[in-house]
Amino acid sequence: MPRFFGTPDGVKVGDLFIDRRELHDAHVHRPLQAGISGTRQEGADSIVVSGGYTDDVDFGDYLFYTGHGGREPGATRQTHDQSVDAPGNAGLITSMVEGLPVRVVRGAHPSNPYAPPTGYQYAGLFLVTDWDTVTGQDGHKVVRFKLERVPEQAKLWTTEDPVPDPAFATSVVSRRIRDTALSRSIKLLYDHHCQICQTAIPGTGNRYYSEGAHVKPLGRPHLGADAMNNLLCLCPNHHTQLDIGGMVILDDFTVARPTSDQVIAELSFRKDHVLDVANVRYHRMQWTAA
């Protein structure tokens, strides 16, 4: 089964699972032992928080999660440094760079008020918002990740209310996840190069960042399709410019200013990728009279 980013069908926030086998069978967390499901190339789709690492800190709606490695089999303490190149750690870094959602599962632990009394509980989707390497309590380097719960999900009932993140205590953050499998496919097709300016934004460890841009927007009232013929691979600047009407696409797939039809660029295409001209015209009509 291909790696899936999001909540599986038939699963909801708060669902309880007896053991790792049930998590695996429900496609919530596939590994039967590893705490991170992921690879550097694909990203990480799920983690299990079970108190196995002394440097984990859980605040409910956000948490600091210790990466994989640094312990001998069966050991409870770190015996050597963790590596950012370990598959699970590299996967979480890729998920941060590409904005991929991570399923978080909590295992029973007596000192964690956000954990279930027994078994495992699905806590919903989180985003990796930061990572660093620090010296852990056992004196060895650990890879530490900060994950923040995606807003607009069902409330997770716990024995204590989540602690608000001081960094966002006076603001409300709402971010919808649009990074579908097709969006990831088009970014791979173009090797993260913007179809307008050809820029590929470098990140850590030879990773690159780009965005999948829907020409006819998803959701109501537009009801654009999540399809390759409605998608572009763009840098963040040109994605924003497309979304706020700073440019439009003409029928010959050149890019123009909406007020003058002055051509400023030409879309580049690879392989058999094409845009449906109906989507192009729909977007143009939102910002021009023609």
Largest CA distance in the chain: 68
Please provide the size of the chain in residues.
290
pLDDT less than 70: residues of the chain: 1, 74-76, 166-179, 289-290
* pLDDT score at 175: 38
Distance CA 208, CA 162 (A): 34
CATH of domain 16-168: 2.30.280.10
Average pLDDT, the chain: 88
Phi–psi pair at 90, nearest 5 degrees: -60, -35
* pLDDT score at 170: 37
* pLDDT score at 160: 85
* pLDDT score at 169: 44
* pLDDT score at 179: 57
249 neighbors 284 (Cβ within 8 angstroms): yes
Amino acid at 206: N
The model's pTM is 0.73
- Ramachandran sector of residue 139 (left: φ over 0; alpha: ψ -120 to 50; beta: rest): left
In the chain, domain spans? 16-168, 181-287
* pLDDT score at 228: 95
Residue bearing tokens 């029973």: 108
* pLDDT score at 162: 87
Distance CA 105, CA 86 (A): 21
* pLDDT score at 178: 52
* pLDDT score at 92: 95
Residue range 155-191, pLDDT digits in tens: 888 888 888 776 654 333 333 455 577 888 999 999 9
Do strands 231-234 and 248-249 pair parallel, antiparallel, or not at all (unpaired)? unpaired
116 neighbors 202 (Cβ within 8 angstroms): no
